[in-house]
Amino acid sequence: MSRLILVLGDQLTETIAALREADRKTDIVVMAEVADEASYVQHHPKKIALIFAAMRKFAARLRDDGWDVRYTQLDDTENTGSIPGELLRRAEETGATEVFATEPGEWRLIEALNDAPLKIKQLEDDRFIATHAEFQDWAKGRKQLRMEYFYRDMRRKTGLLMDGDDPVGGKWNFDHDNRKPAPDEVDFGGPMQFTPDETVEEVLDLVESRFGNSFGQLRPFWFATEPGQAKRALSHFIRHALPKFGDFQDAMLDDNRFLYHAVISPYITLGLLDPLEVCREAEKAYENGDAPINAVEGFIRQIIGWREYIRGIYFREGPDYVSRNALKHKRDLPAFYWGEKTRMRCVAKAVEQTEAEAYAHHIQRLMVTGNFGLLAGIDPAQLHEWYLRVYIDAFEWVEAPNTIGMSQFADDGIIASKPYISSGNYIDKMSDHCKSCDYKVKVKTGDGACPFNLLYWHFLHRHRGKFEGNPRMGNMYGTWDRMTEDKRDTILREAEDFLARMEKGEIV
C-alpha cells in the first residue's frame, strides 16, 4: 500500500527526512499551496511568491526524478484550503492510510498535523546541525542560555574554523572588529538578481490577483527560486561582498539597502541551500586568502551559531513562547510601521525598504524598528506579527525568538542578558540617517529632540525596578541619577507627550 509523503514549502530539499524514508516506486508526494498557510498572517506578497514558485519548481524536479507528485495550486477548484485537508483528500483519492512528514517549523502546523484524523509520522528535520535532543542536553542545568557557548559547541561539532581543539585565529569571536560605521562608498552592487521565468511569472500573476492588498510591493521580483540560482547568489556574495561583510554588517545607509549583506537566508530556510555547505564555502574563502577571519567568522556564526540557537530556543520553550510579555507592554503598533508618514528618518527608511524588498538586515530590525518598539512599549505580540508578515525570511521558528526574546525582552531574559535598547547616538554612529532627519540626534530635550533619546530614558525610568540591579545596566542608571531633577522631569514629560501624540495618530 502506498503512503503519502508530505513536503512543505520550506522543505524543498531532495534529501529531506520524509523523502529519505519514502519509496519512489510506491509512495506519493503531496505538496499544496493552501489558503491557511498563505493567510494565517497577511504575508508580504514577495514571500508568498517566492515560496509558491520554489515549490512548483521543486515538484517538477521530483517528477523528473521519477516521483508521483500530487500538487495542488492555490486556485485549484478542489483545493481544501489547508494542509490536513489536502492530506485527507489525497488519502481518499489514493487509498493511502499513512503519512510521512518532516516536522514543520511552527507549532501551529505541528499541532494541526497531530490533530488530523490520519496516521501521520512526523520525522525530525535533520537539515539542522543540532538535534532537538542535543540542544536540550546543552541547555539542561544552565542558569543562562547564552548563544556564545552553544556556538562554540557547534564549531567543535562541525570543525568549521577549527585548528584541532582550538579556534582558528586564536579567538572564537571577532565581533569587536565588525562594528565599523557606514562607509562613504559601497563597491558591491547588491545580491544577485534573477529575471522571472515563465513559472515565476505565473505565480506573480496569481499572487497579484489574490494578495494585491497586502503590505509590500510584489514587483520587481528578483529572488532565486531554484538551487542552481541560489548557489550562484551565494558565490556572488562570497566573491564580491564577503571580504567586507564583517566590517560593515551593522552599518546602515539612506541610499543603499544591501551594503555587503548576502540576502541568502530565505534560500537556506526554504531548502534551496544547505547551511553547512554555505559555511564551508565561506571557510574556503578564508583558507584561500580571499576573505578575512573577522568577516568569515561573523558570517558563519550567524548560521551555525545564531540560527541553530534560535531554533533550539523556539522548540524548547513551546507554543506559548509567542504570547510572552514580561515587560507588560500594551501600546498598539503605530501606523508608520505600515508606511504612514513619520519624521524619524531611520524608521521611515527601514519601513520603506521593508515594503519594497521584504528585506532589512539584522541591525535595522533589532536597533531601529525593534529598538523603537521596545522603547515605546509596543505590544510584543503585535510586533511579532508584523515581523512575521513583512519579511521574506520570517518563519515563526526563527522570527519569534528574535522578536519576543532578542528584540523585545518579552521572554524575561532567556535569550538576552539585558534589553537591546539604545538612544539615537548608536543609530547616528552606524548610519547616515540622522544627517537628513527632521529631529536632531544631538538635541536631548526641547524642540527637535530625537525621540530615541527621550524614550531611552523613559524606558529605563519606568522599568527601574526590574533592571537597576542588572550589572550590564548600572552605568545607564548612574548617568540618569547624575542628571538634575529638572532635567529628568523634562525628559519624562517630553517622552510622555511624544507617546501621547503617537497614540492619537499624529505624525511624529
Over 90: is that where the pLDDT of 182 sits? Answer: no
Residue closest to 199 by CA, chosen among 82, 51, 83: 51
Cell triple for 409: 525582552
Q: Where in the chain is the domain with CATH 3.40.50.620?
A: 4-123
CB 103 within 8 A of CB 128: no
Over 90: is that where the pLDDT of 461 sits? Answer: yes
Fold of 132-190+241-316: 1.25.40
Which residues, 6+ apart, have CB-to-CB distance to 368 below 8 Å? 252, 346, 347, 350, 427
Over 90: is that where the pLDDT of 176 sits? Answer: no
CB 158 within 8 A of CB 276: yes
Predicted pLDDT of residue 178: 87
Over 90: is that where the pLDDT of 1 sits? Answer: no
Tell me how many degrees the CA angle 404-409-412 measures, rounded to the nearest 5: 105
Fold of 335-503: DNA Cyclobutane Dipyrimidine Photolyase, subunit A; domain 3 (1.10.579)
Q: Could you tell me if residue 259 is left (phi over 0), alpha (psi between -120 and 50 degrees) or otherwise beta?
A: left
Cα separation, 180 vs 346, whole angstroms: 18
Provide mean pLDDT across the span 179-190.
91
Predicted pLDDT of residue 139: 96
Cα 471 from chain centre = 29
Cα separation, 135 vs 373, whole angstroms: 30
Q: Where in the chain is the domain with CATH 1.25.40.80?
A: 132-190+241-316
Cα separation, 341 vs 505, whole angstroms: 10
CB 507 within 8 A of CB 343: yes
Cα separation, 285 vs 292, whole angstroms: 8
Q: What is the mean pLDDT of the chain?
A: 97
Over 90: is that where the pLDDT of 179 sits? Answer: no
Give residue-wise pLDDT tens across range 230-246: 999 999 999 999 999 99
**DSSP H stretches of helix in 377-484:** 380-390, 396-400, 424-430, 451-462, 464-467, 474-482
In the numeric block, the cell 567568522 is attached to 297
Predicted pLDDT of residue 4: 98
Provide mean pLDDT across the span 245-266.
96
Query: Given pLDDT bands bounded at 50, 70 and 90, which one contains residue 254?
Result: very high
4-123 in CATH: which number?
A: 3.40.50.620
Q: Where in the chain is the domain with CATH 1.10.579.10?
A: 335-503
Strand order from edge to edge, sheet including 119-123:
68-72, 28-32, 4-6, 98-102, 119-123
CB 101 within 8 A of CB 30: no
Which residues, 6+ apart, have CB-to-CB distance to 469 below 8 Å? none
Nearest 10 degrees: Cα torsion 352, 355, 358, 363:
30
Collapsing DSSP to helix, strand or coil, 2 comes out as: coil
Over 90: is that where the pLDDT of 208 sits? Answer: yes
Provide mean pLDDT across the span 35-41.
94
Predicted pLDDT of residue 166: 96
Provide mean pLDDT across the span 48-68.
98
pTM value is 0.96
Provide mean pLDDT across the span 42-46.
97
Residue closest to 399 by CA, chosen among 316, 322, 305, 335: 322
